[in-house]
Amino acid sequence: MEPEMFGPRVRPPLGQWIPLSIQHIFAMFGATILVPLLTGLDPATALFTAGTGTLIYILCTGAQVPAFLGSSFAFIPPIISISAAYGMPYALGGAVTAGIFYCIVGAIIKVAGTAWLDRALPPVVIGSVIVVIGLNLAPTAINMAMNDGNGNYSLPMFSIALFTLAVTVAANIFLKGFFSTIPILFGLISGYLFTLIMGSFFPAYHIIDFDIVSKTPWFGLPHFAVPRFNGVAMLTFIIVSLATICEHLGDTLVTSKVVGQDFYKKPGLHRTLAGDGLATAWAALWGGPPNTTYGENIGVMAITKVYSVWVIGGAAVVAVTLSFFRKFGALIQTIPSPVMGGISMLLFGIIASSGLRTIVESGVDYKDKRNLTISSVIFVIGIGGGRLAFNLSSDVRFELAGVALATVVGIILNLLFPVAKGGYSSKIR
């Protein structure tokens, strides 16, 4: 039986409040822990910063917008690239900068509106960049799915990944209602159990080691880190955040339609962006991945007709509580790499496909050579690994690569090329 609808400001009775909040934990859990597992961050810290970040967002929006914030997939490429080049503290510093940039853009929107954003980042640019973000991660997914710890091809590893992928795809397509919002969780659990069962019969599948769980205390603080800053990391994350800002605008619009209230006007985009930005900066300051509003939880609200900010806040408190169960965090770290690879083959593809969806639904006309040229250049630079690098001095080197460089080039081409008669016929929103 469908529960009674609760509006954003309504607090449900405790007997309904707790299970409704836990439901949101299931929806966000798989994606939120996947990002730190892919980037080398601590999953327990990600849960802590997702929960506390959501509470910050609720505070910034005056408890008017029911949105849960979890780990952002769009920032995976810059986290991996910057941490490889300079170390993880600098990637976290870049994420802090991105959060501050959100707040600056929010302030500009409050004063000047969104027309300038539509001009700089039309659908042809932002859609193409989102495609690049997803496809840039494809080699990471395949490597986790096919190779062992030494980087060598392994058929047992690949079979685990294919089984996980099959279950995740089936859950994504065939499950209905609330269960359709948690295909990642279904795939993760199924792949884990498959590996355990196969490992009991075949030595090649015996790859899950519970030693870390037995050696970890039951309770403790998440592993926090201290960000560091340099110009390259900061600029890279700011550029990538242009795409995630547009993602935020889209999520806020969808939430408005689901709830039936215009959150663009009240509390206003400047406040939702500030909340998202402060949550992202907060997360990175503690060693967690950047945050973003989660479509999975919007889907839960659409299904249940429960829009209460109290329910979202309850889910945030549950996430924070889980982060202090250290054995729980250690158990997450035993998830086999091919299981993550199988999930990622679908998930990263969905990111790329969402970029195509942005382009299609916005009505971008590829008969127009201008649009065709912009997308083509973005794709080749972003997916091909384009890099702009030079030395500013003997010990300072500037570098833009991959997604960041593709975004910059796309923006420049869009601003330089003349617009067809009639101007921009479509917007992201």
The SS3 of residue 140 is helix
Q: What is the largest CA-CA distance in the chain?
A: 68
What's the N-to-C CA distance of the chain in angstroms? 34
Taking alpha carbons only, the member of 69, 31, 98 closest to residue 284 is 98
Distance separating alpha carbons of residues 74 and 382, to the nearest angstrom: 13
Q: Which one-letter DSSP state was computed for residue 121?
A: S
| pLDDT score of 50 | 93
- Establish if 117 belongs to a structural domain: yes
- Establish if 270 belongs to a structural domain: yes
Show the beta-strand stretches assigned E in 197-270.
none
| pLDDT score of 351 | 74
Domain enclosing residue 34, as ranges: 14-416
- Establish if 396 belongs to a structural domain: yes
Q: CB of 161 within 8 A of CB of 342?
A: yes
Beta carbons within 8 Å of 391's beta carbon, 6+ residues apart: 397, 398
| pLDDT score of 290 | 92
Q: Give the up-direction half-sphere exposure of residue 271: CA atoms within 13 A in the CB hemisphere.
A: 15
| pLDDT score of 221 | 75
Distance separating alpha carbons of residues 245 and 278, to the nearest angstrom: 13
- What's the distance, CA 421 to chain centroid? 36
Taking alpha carbons only, the member of 37, 54, 274, 214 closest to residue 141 is 37
- Establish if 7 belongs to a structural domain: no
Q: Locate 112 and state its tokens.
A: 């000047």
Distances (CA, A) of 294 to 16, 67, 251, 347: 22, 7, 8, 14
Distance separating alpha carbons of residues 130 and 383, to the nearest angstrom: 11
Buried-state track 165-183, b at ≥16 Cβ within 10 A, e below 16: bebbeebbeeeeeeeebbb
**How many domains is the chain partitioned into structurally?**
1
Residue 398 — φ and ψ, nearest 5°?
-100, 140
- Establish if 329 belongs to a structural domain: yes
Distance separating alpha carbons of residues 364 and 328, to the nearest angstrom: 46
| pLDDT score of 425 | 42
Residues of the chain with pLDDT under 50: 1-4, 422-429
Helices H, strands E: what count in the chain?
A: 18, 4
Beta carbons within 8 Å of 413's beta carbon, 6+ residues apart: 373, 374, 377
Beta carbons within 8 Å of 151's beta carbon, 6+ residues apart: 143
For residue 263, give the amino acid letter. F
Q: Give the up-direction half-sphere exposure of residue 110: CA atoms within 13 A in the CB hemisphere.
A: 14
Strands 69-71 and 291-293, sheet pairing? antiparallel
Token pair 């109290």 is found at 310
The SS3 of residue 69 is strand
- Establish if 428 belongs to a structural domain: no
- Establish if 9 belongs to a structural domain: no
- Establish if 426 belongs to a structural domain: no
